[in-house]
Structure 1
Amino acid sequence: MFVLEWCEFSWAVRNMFAAIGVPYHAIELDSAALQKDNVGGDLRAALGVKAGAPTIPQIFIGGEHVGGATETFDAFNDGTLKERLASVGLSMDASSIQNAYSFLPKWLEPRTRS
């Protein structure tokens, strides 16, 4: 996953993966190591082109783009995240989670779908 260290949406996805027991690798685009020569900024620009969205986080499983935080939560809620993880030999324990959106910051207004 490509994340920002300070981003609450990035932390929400990390917290969900930790809660369901899914290992992940986070590339922190705003880390001190990636600030040199604007490497993080260049990666973020390239990621925006590849993902088709400038938002962070952006999640990939087995090299396949899942999307940002909301797409990842939607995939959890509709079962496709479990399928994607299984396709790369990973499992998850979702028994204690009813709705992935519960990991979002509490200051957000609830999303409604039309």
Structure 2
Amino acid sequence: MPAAAAAPAPSAQARADLERILADPEEPVVLFALEWCEFSWSLRRLFAEAGIGFRSIELDGPHYRENDRGGDLRRALAERTRAATIPQVFVGGQHVGGATETMDAIRDGRFRACLQACGRDMRTDGIGDPHSFLPTWLQPRPARAAGRG
């Protein structure tokens, strides 16, 4: 069985685009997402509920489809973060992580501290557990009564 081909390295342009996106002080919170991804949807809902302004880079969106621009940017992102999964979140140019790492950072206050270092803030009241924004198929199911199946 032949070995799988390694993904090509990101282009210099993709690396430069990534650095430019992450260095923008007007949009310090950046969500690299996929349009169809439930975990990306979860973070969008959580950010909206918490009043967190963010820039969403839809790697599979129409703006990034031509000449595999989104794929190239995704390779640059993976090179920088050492994470192949999407979504990935940055605040003030610093990598926070994927969906669950971002939710953990919101829960323990690290995310808010990063926001405040950029002159931004978020609402925490009424949000509850950030992990409750994950897809419902990941949520714990209530125990069933004995004798019911």
TM-aligned CA deviation for residue 53 of structure 1: 0.3
Percent identity over paired residues: 50
Q: Which runs of 4+ in 1 moved over 2 A?
A: none
1:66 counterpart SS class = strand
Counterpart in the other structure of 2:114: 84
Structure-2-length-normalised TM-score: 0.72
Distance, in Å, in 1 between the alignment partners of 2:89 and 2:117 is 15
**1:1-114 → structure 2 map (5 Å cutoff):** 1-108=31-138, 110=140
Extract unaligned runs of 5+ from structure 2.
1-30, 141-149
Partner deviation per Cα, 1:26-80 (whole Å, 9 max, x = no partner): 0100002211100000111110110110000110101111111011000011111
TM-aligned CA deviation for residue 109 of structure 1: 5.1
TM-aligned CA deviation for residue 108 of structure 1: 1.4
Max Rg structure = 2
Distance, in Å, in 2 between the alignment partners of 1:100 and 1:34 is 29
1:2 counterpart SS class = strand
Structure-1-length-normalised TM-score: 0.93
Extract unaligned runs of 5+ from structure 1.
none
Distance, in Å, in 2 between the alignment partners of 1:80 and 1:2 is 19
